[in-house]
């Protein structure tokens, strides 16, 4: 099953694995870890304008291009590292990202899904 509407994501008990479809929105947040792996924060938007946060670890970050519609297989939703901090769906190298369409203009954001405890 692939999640195309993000509203139900916040009601799930974490951790969980999800397959998520959406459009990659512009967000410039990249870092290099001491291990040499790249860490990148990405926003994914559903067709209703709802946005959720993804964090990629490793080479999988290269699979995300702005204004591309994708399906992310095996994203892992995890709680924030400290109490009260926002969680995110993590995308690791063993996840699969399938690009569906290019040059898809993101809509105005109608809602931000914040994953929390």
Tell me how many degrees the CA angle 73-77-83 measures, rounded to the nearest 5: 165
Task: Determine the pLDDT at residue 35.
Answer: 87
Q: Are 8 and 2 in contact (CB under 8 A)?
A: no
pLDDT tens, per residue, the chain with 117 residues:
899 999 888 777 888 999 999 999 977 678 888 888 888 999 999 999 999 999 998 888 888 889 999 999 999 999 887 777 788 899 998 999 999 999 999 889 999 988 775
Residue 52's nearest CA partner among 12, 81, 83, 82 is: 12
6-107 belongs to which CATH class?
Answer: mainly beta
Residue 34 is classified by DSSP as T
pTM: 0.86
- Token pair 């479809």 is found at 21
């Amino acid at each position: 099953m692939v999640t195309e509407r993000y509203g139900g994501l916040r009601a799930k008990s974490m951790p969980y694995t999800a397959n998520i479809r959406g459009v990659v929105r512009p967000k410039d947040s990249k870092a290099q870890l001491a291990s040499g792996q790249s860490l990148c924060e990405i926003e994914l938007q559903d067709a209703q304008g709802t946005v959720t946060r993804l964090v990629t670890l490793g080479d999988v970050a290269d699979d995300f291009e702005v204004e591309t519609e994708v399906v992310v297989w095996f994203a892992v939703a995890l709680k924030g590292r400290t109490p009260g901090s926002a969680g995110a769906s993590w995308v690791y190298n063993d996840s699969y990202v399938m690009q569906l369409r290019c040059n898809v203009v993101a809509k105005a954001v109608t809602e931000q899904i914040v994953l929390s405890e």
